[in-house]
Amino acid sequence: MVFRRLCTLAACLSALAADGKPVDWKGEIDALVKPLMARKKATGIVVGVLTPDGKRVFVSYGETKAGGPRPDADTAFEIGSASKPLTALLLARMVEAAEVKLSDPVQRHLPKAIIVPRRGKQEITLLELATHASGLPRNPPNQQRAVIKEPTVAKNP
């Protein structure tokens, strides 16, 4: 699975940055991503690294779709479920730091102009949102989405 491999990539890159020695970022990324691409596990990948000295390094592989152009730093990818573990980790850290409680209504942490649906009189909590027990639809009703056979990427406007 691509996400697991990219998590491994992130861990490896973090370890490289931690030792303080100069790093050939492109070479390190190539060594980790090229085998994944060779096994046809992804159509296209862009890896971005913010180095300890603040430099941004982007390396792209493959195509935005079969026969399409190569992705770049401005390519928007449909990430599917890849953001769920990161979001859960951030929520866990906020709970540990006592910034939020899992029992908090989601509405408490949003601007007043955004109205979160309720289940009867019950407000949806952060825990229910994080565990997919909120009863909210899978996709927002205003999301325009073409029927796709595989994840795609698109250029940002």
Residue-wise pLDDT for 12-33, tens only, equals 555 555 566 667 778 888 887 8
Structure pTM?
Answer: 0.50
Just list the catalytic residues. 81
Residue-wise pLDDT for 84-130, tens only, equals 777 888 899 999 999 999 999 999 999 989 888 887 888 999 999 88
Give pLDDT, residue 145: 57
> Nearest CA to 67 among 152, 146, 145?
152
Average predicted confidence (pLDDT) for the chain: 77
3-class SS string, 66-116: CCCCCCCCCEEECCHHHHHHHHHHHHHHHHHCCCCCCCCEHHHHCCCCCCC
Greatest distance between any 2 Cα atoms in the chain: 58
